[in-house]
């Protein structure tokens, strides 16, 4: 059975400061759970999130939507300095492509 809180974005990373693994949930950035093993850190943060969600629901508070379930339009606005805007517009024009395509290609390279 898949629990609702299993749809959130969890990760486990090493905390040198605490000398333990820390479990985190992207949708609840103020929550964390420390354990000596990564498996226990994941189990712990999932339990904390489940507890917080239950408390939020009891109090009529809205629960964040899991990132995995959000729909994205493919559009977002970025503000950049005018000089950079001009430089990128010229680069796009020289390449014979739109500024939007240039930006998309540059952002795509960051994924690799």
Strand partners, 24: 11, 32
Whether 44 and 5 have beta carbons less than 8 Å apart is answered as no
pLDDT at 38 over 50: yes
Class of domain 4-68 as given by CATH: alpha beta
pLDDT tens track for 53-104: 999 999 999 999 999 999 999 998 999 999 999 999 999 999 999 999 999 9
pLDDT tens track for 6-34: 799 999 999 999 999 999 999 999 999 99
Whether pTM exceeds 0.75: no
HSE-up (13 A, CA, CB side) for residue 104: 8
Domain positions in the chain are 4-68, 72-111
């Amino acid at each position: 059975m898949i629990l609702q809180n299993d749809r959130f974005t969890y990760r486990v990373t090493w905390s040198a400061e605490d000398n333990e693994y820390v479990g985190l949930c992207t949708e609840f950035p103020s929550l964390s759970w420390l354990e000596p093993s990564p498996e226990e850190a994941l189990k712990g943060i999932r339990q904390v999130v489940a507890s917080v969600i239950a408390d939020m629901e009891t109090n009529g508070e809205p629960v964040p939507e899991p990132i995995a379930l959000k729909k994205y339009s493919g559009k977002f606005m970025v503000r950049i300095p005018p000089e950079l805007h001009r430089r990128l517009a010229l680069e796009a024009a020289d390449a014979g492509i739109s500024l939007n395509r240039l930006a998309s290609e540059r952002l795509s390279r960051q994924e690799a």
